[in-house]
Amino acid sequence: MATAQQLFHERGYDAVSVADVTDALGINPPSFYAAFGSKAGLYQRVLDYWTDTEAIPLADILRPDVPVADAVAAMLEEAARRYAFNPAAGGCLVLEGTRCNDDDAREAARALNLGAETFIHDYIAARHPEAADQVTDFVATTMSGLSAKARSGHDLSRLLATARLAGSVLTQVLPA
């Protein structure tokens, strides 16, 4: 499962063939389909696995006992760190998955992303209800951009600088 995740993260859903997966896993196509049902089925399981192992722990970062702006800024920086962690598999598995050309896989990734955005929105809205919509959009857009730029070569220091710049908006618009 970890190797499948790595494949999807490195190349993206569309560019990974089931032959790639079966080769990497050392199994044959019938075993693959007995185990996962389809390529999209494997992707679902990979997303679940990712959620349990590598997803940003939003609940730990977005804490009620710190200023909202600080918490969200910390989340952006953590995203930058994770997106740059493996240069061969840059960006966010889920955000990149929302842009693939397979309907099932894209909707699965979008659903996961929507859940995360809802979580962020609710966190912000608890203390800044009137700014939550705008700020959530801004943060989600920034994370999409960070993921995209991670894939096209921006290294950790550049992503972090961008994340900090974006974070500086939050302290302006979300006063403690």
93 SS3 class: helix
Q: Is 28 in the site for DNA (CB under 7 A)?
A: yes
Comparison of 39 and 149: residue with beta carbon closer to DNA: 39
Selected from 52, 129, 172, 176, the binder of its own copies by CB under 8 A is 172
For the segment 71-110, give every residue that binds its own copies (CB under 8 A): 95, 98-99, 101, 110
If contact means CB under 5 to 8 A according to the sort of partner, which of DNA, its own copies, none does residue 151 touch? Answer: its own copies
Question: Apex CA 56: angle with CA 175 and CA 46, to 5°?
Answer: 150
Min separation Cβ 82 and DNA, Å: 26
- Interhelix angle for 2-11 vs 39-53, to 10°? 100
- The binding track of 37-56 with respect to DNA, each residue x by CB under 7 A or -, is -xxx----------------
Residue ranges of the alpha helices (H) in the chain? 2-11, 18-25, 29-36, 39-53, 58-61, 68-85, 93-97, 103-127, 132-151, 156-173
- Residue 136 tokens read as 């959530």
Total residues interacting with its own copies, rule: CB under 8 A: 33
Q: Name the residue among 8, 11, 163, 175 with its Cα closest to residue 73.
A: 163
Instruction: Indicate which single residue of 2, 23, 29, 118 sits in contact with DNA (rule: CB under 7 A).
Output: 29
Contact call for residue 64 and DNA (CB under 7 A):
no
142 close to 159: Cβ distance less than 8 angstroms: no
143 binds, among its own copies, DNA, none (CB under 5 to 8 A by kind): its own copies
Where do contacts with DNA occur on this chain (CB under 7 A)?
16-19, 27-34, 38-40
